[in-house]
Amino acid sequence: MSKDIIYSPREIGQAGYDAAHKAASAKNLGIELDVPGTDIKDYFAPLLPWEICAIQGQTSNGKSYFKDWWLKRIVKQFKKSGRNQIIVDVHLEETIEAVAFAEYGRRLGVRPADLARGEYTNFDKMLGIMTEMDGIPIWHIGVSAKDDENTPQLTLSNIYKAIKALKSGEITGSEWDIGVVSVDYLQALPIDNEIKKAKHDAQRRLQVTSDVNRLRAMTAHLECPIIIPLQAKQKLEGNSEPYFIPGTYDGSETMSIATRFDRILSIWMPSQTHPELMGEKIYSKDGRSVDVKENNAWLKVNKQRGGLPSGKSWQMKIDFKNHEYESIYGGMNETI
Q: In order of start, what are the domains of the chain with their CATH numbers?
A: 44-327 (3.40.50.300)
170 pLDDT more than 50: yes
What's the average model confidence in pLDDT over 239-262?
A: 84
Torsion over CA: 245, 248, 250, 253 (sign): positive
**CA distance linking residue 210 with residue 193, whole number of Å:** 12
331 pLDDT more than 60: no
277 pLDDT more than 90: yes
Percent with pLDDT over 90 in the chain: 64
Please state, in angstroms and as integers, the Cα–Cα distance from residue 120 to each residue in 18, 94, 102, 201, following that order: 55, 20, 13, 45
Q: What pTM was estimated for this model as a whole?
A: 0.89
281 pLDDT more than 90: yes
Average pLDDT, the chain: 89
278 pLDDT more than 80: yes
Percent with pLDDT over 70 in the chain: 93
86 beta partners? 178
What per-residue confidence (pLDDT) applies to 212?
A: 87
Give every CB contact of residue 247 below 8 A, 6+ residues apart in sequence. Answer: 236, 237, 238, 239, 266, 302
How confident is residue 40, by pLDDT bands cut at 50, 70 and 90?
A: very high
313 versus 257: the higher-pLDDT residue is: 313
How open is the CA angle 202-214-40, to the nearest 5 degrees? 100
Q: How many residues does the chain have?
A: 336
201 pLDDT more than 80: no
How confident is residue 177, by pLDDT bands cut at 50, 70 and 90?
A: very high
23 pLDDT more than 70: no
What's the average model confidence in pLDDT over 54-72?
A: 95
Buried b (16+ CB within 10 A) or exposed e, 274-293: beeeeeeebeeeeeeebebb
- Is there a contact between 232 and 246 (Cβ–Cβ < 8 Å)? yes
- Is there a contact between 159 and 152 (Cβ–Cβ < 8 Å)? no
What per-residue confidence (pLDDT) applies to 18?
A: 83
Alpha-carbon dihedral of residues 166, 171, 172, 178, nearest 10 degrees?
0
What per-residue confidence (pLDDT) applies to 1?
A: 59
How confident is residue 19, by pLDDT bands cut at 50, 70 and 90?
A: confident
What per-residue confidence (pLDDT) applies to 313?
A: 95
How confident is residue 15, by pLDDT bands cut at 50, 70 and 90?
A: confident
Taking the alpha carbons at both ends of the chain, their separation in whole angstroms is 49
Torsion over CA: 159, 65, 127, 178 (sign): negative
CA 174 centroid distance within chain: 26
What per-residue confidence (pLDDT) applies to 16?
A: 83
How confident is residue 253, by pLDDT bands cut at 50, 70 and 90?
A: low
Reduced to 3 states, what is the DSSP secondary structure of residue 63? Answer: helix
Q: 138-143 and 52-57 as β-strands: parallel, antiparallel, unpaired?
A: unpaired
**CA distance linking residue 178 with residue 163, whole number of Å:** 9
Q: What is the DSSP letter of 332?
A: B
